[in-house]
Every structure is written in structure tokens, then in C-alpha cells.
Structure 1
């Protein structure tokens, strides 16, 4: 398995956002499924990924279904639950030669899941901003 993806899977499995500091490039860009503009920088990307790990990792429900890797980029399809809504999505990840993620895009389906993510992430990001 690719070093970057191996580390990403450890972050997700262990819910260990502390590993993101080394895994993300300083100029990483995050593309949210519910925010129109790309979010640039390690600090904001870390905030979004921390929130997503908490929102999407319903105990025993989050799992990657398949992975397609081509050079320094990958698409990871996942499935989880938010409440009673099944969420199907993909993480599109690109990394540099240093093994740091430089672009992270999340796409979600169906529409009901997008609405559920929007509500849950909004609340989670507010709590993370307040608590640091």
C-alpha cells in the first residue's frame, strides 16, 4: 500500500487528527461537499478533517469500500450512517513527492446525505472553533 494512503487509513482508523500535521502540506487545499469555495491551508483543512472524522465515524459504520490509485492520487469510496441516512461518498486525494497531501476533495451522495452532512458538520465545526 502507498505510504500516504497507509498513513491516512491510520488517521481514520484511530481517529488520530494529531497525525495530520505531518500528513498535510502547508498549502493543502480542501474541497468540502457543502462549502462552495476551496479552503486553503493546513489549519483550515485540519479543522474540516477533524470535524468530518467525528461526524462520519458513527461507531461501526464508516468503512472504505474500494480504492483506486494512480501515481500520486487516489479515489477512496466510503459509506457510513448519519442518523438513519446512509451516506455514500468519495475522498479524492492528491499528494506531493514528499508524501504530503496537497489536495483533498470530498464528494457525497445522495442529496439527503448532503443535507445531513451539512447540518452535522456545521454544528461540529462550531464546537471545534469554540473548543480549539
Structure 2
């Protein structure tokens, strides 16, 4: 879980994601499958949520599962959320679920993530 204690760089994330990872986002209704789409969503989250106020406030380590509670501020709105993570015997993340609260924070995250993902897609086109 070193990635979650330091800089959130793409190479470090790529190294710890299973090729068939399942990502569940608070802004997308269906699970997203595979490393490329998970990298895209987590990269966008890092760009939108990962400002100077972002911090993990509690970590529940349960062996091959963990829950990491985070807080950050976006546009004057306090965002409180959790990352629920599972990994395999090789230490690769197989399941990554993000939940966010309260409703005002979900709306703020949704708008920011939508804009970031559209920007990322435009750069790739």
C-alpha cells in the first residue's frame, strides 16, 4: 500500500494493479474492468481530488482487503470518502471501489471528474 502513502504517480499505480482489476466509481453506474480504464479513472481522480487538502484520515488494514478513509476540499465543499481495496496473493489490486459523501460532495466530484475525463479523452483523440 506504499502508493497510498506517498506520491500518486502513474508508474507506481500501474505496478500494483492486476490486469483484470475491477473499478467501481461513485460517478459511473457499472463496474469498469481492466487496468487501462482503472488507470484512467484513478488518474482523473488524482487530478481532481488530489489537491493540497487531500489526506487519508483512517486506514483499516484487513490482510488482503483495506478501507482507506479520505478527506479533501473541492470548491469550498468538504469531500469525505473511502477507497475499498482488495488484492490477490501476489499483492496486485483486483478490486477498487470508491464511495463519496455527502450529496453536495458527490455532485462536486461528479462535475469535476466529468470535465477531467472529457479533457483526457480529447488529448488522446
Structure 1, unmatched stretches of 5+, are none
Q: Which of the numbers 15, 33, 36 marks the counterpart of 1:43?
A: 36
Report whether the alignment pairs 1:58 with 2:48. no
Alpha-carbon separation, structure 1, partners of 2:117 and 2:5: 22
Aligned to 1:32: 25
Q: Which of the numbers 46, 68, 78 marks the counterpart of 1:76?
A: 68
Q: How well do the aligned residues superpose, as a CA RMSD in angstroms? A: 1.0
Tell me if structure 1 keeps the 8 A contact 2:3–2:13.
no
Report whether the alignment pairs 1:114 with 2:106. yes
Give the SS at the match of 1:58.
Answer: coil
Alpha-carbon separation, structure 2, partners of 1:105 and 1:64: 15
Structure 2, unmatched stretches of 5+, are none
Alpha-carbon separation, structure 1, partners of 2:30 and 2:36: 16
Per-residue Cα deviation, 1:7-27 (whole angstroms, up to 9, x for no partner): 3333xxx23112222110000
Runs of 4+ in 1 over 6 A off after TM superposition: none
Alpha-carbon separation, structure 2, partners of 1:26 and 1:8: 19
